[in-house]
Amino acid sequence: MRKLIDLHLHLDGSVPFTTIKKLMNIHGLPTIDDQILRQKLSVGPDCRDLNEFLEKFAFPVHLMQTAADLQLIVFSLLKNLKKQGLVYVEIRFAPQLHTEQGLTQEEVVRAAIAGLNQFFNWQKDNPTDQPELHANLLLCLMRLKDNYEQNLETVETAKHFLDRGVSGLDLAGAETPAFSISNYASLFSLASRESIPFTIHAGEAMGPESIYQALDLGAKRIGHGIRCVEDKQLVADIIQNRITLECCATSNLNTKAFNQIDHYPVKKLLHQGVNVTLNTDDMTVSNIDLPHEYKLLEDKTGLTSSDEKQLYLNAVNAAFCSEQEKSRLLSLI
């Protein structure tokens, strides 16, 4: 089994199907036929754009409003990832989306960390020949209307839990001109002053200009960023400044950021010297896992074992984790 790293995985877009059914039973929700439930959770090949893609988050988020729910989801997701051969993962989510029933953002994050710790204990009690899976959390600021205070609270919460389960920040949500990345400059300036690492979603629904804005804010990693290929100077800047792209192939097809998998440019960018990585984004929404993504690019773009090793090394170098963890990950190859 290959050893894998996922730096771009959304918790609410990757809740395991069996866990969704378990939570529905816990909360006394009506039983739904599996096929219909999957349609509520996952997009099909006819998905129109990012906005339709984001609609699939509503139902799982509804089931992520108590500490027990969040702990169970993190624990069950990590067990699934372990089976896939992952050795490191950064799970991202927006604490402000999980406060509908009275939890504070701090309580939301504590619940997610409890899920991490439950998994780590389970992993120790159930040793295998496979390397251990280590994990960190990234807290997402959201592109939403009138939520500056909530985003500020997320930054403060990340500071409080930094290196205690949380390793960084993100900016997520619909990419539109109304939510220009530059609108969030003060928040990421604060994150920089507090030495909180961050990545920013850019270059997916919006083009190269959004990537430039993210770089202006100091981002060393770009969530997706695949549309950098539209601007040769931007690609050169990314290479020169050693920026890492968190590429998510099937997700980019779903959202129409890219149209044909045969031309998906991970291999091309890799050979140009761009620090690209391969990730899932949303396993349940896209109905995929990371082994699937590697096999897809092997079959459709000729991705080689040498390419895959470089993708792994790029992920290790870009990970928001300790030097000790980076050494462990490097020792695995």
pLDDT on residue 72 = 98
Question: Residues with catalytic annotation?
Answer: 204
Q: Where are the alpha helices (DSSP H) in 127-248?
A: 148-161, 185-193, 208-216, 232-240
CA distance 133 to 91: 12
Closest-CA residue to 58 (of 73, 74, 71, 42): 42
| pLDDT tens per residue across span 165-199 | 999 999 999 888 889 999 999 999 999 999 999 99
CB 153 within 8 A of CB 190: no
Q: What is the pLDDT of residue 250?
A: 96
What is the reported pLDDT for 49? 83
Give the residue ranges of the chain where pLDDT is below 70: none
Q: Contact at 8 Å (CB) between 132 and 83?
A: no
CATH class of 4-331: alpha beta
pLDDT of residue 178: 84
If one counts every other C-beta atom within 10 angstroms of the C-beta of residue 189, the result is 12
In tens, the pLDDT along 89-103 reads 999 999 999 999 999
Report the run of H or E that residue 275 belongs to, with start and end.
strand 275-278
For residue 305, give both structure tokens: 């074992």
180: left (phi over 0), alpha (psi -120 to 50) or beta: beta
Q: What is the pLDDT of residue 1?
A: 77
Q: What is the pLDDT of residue 258?
A: 85
> Six-digit token pair at 222?
């770009």
Determine contact, residues 77/91, Cβ cutoff 8 Å: yes
* Token pair for 286: 């896209």
Evaluate whether 270 touches 307 at the Cβ level (below 8 Å): yes
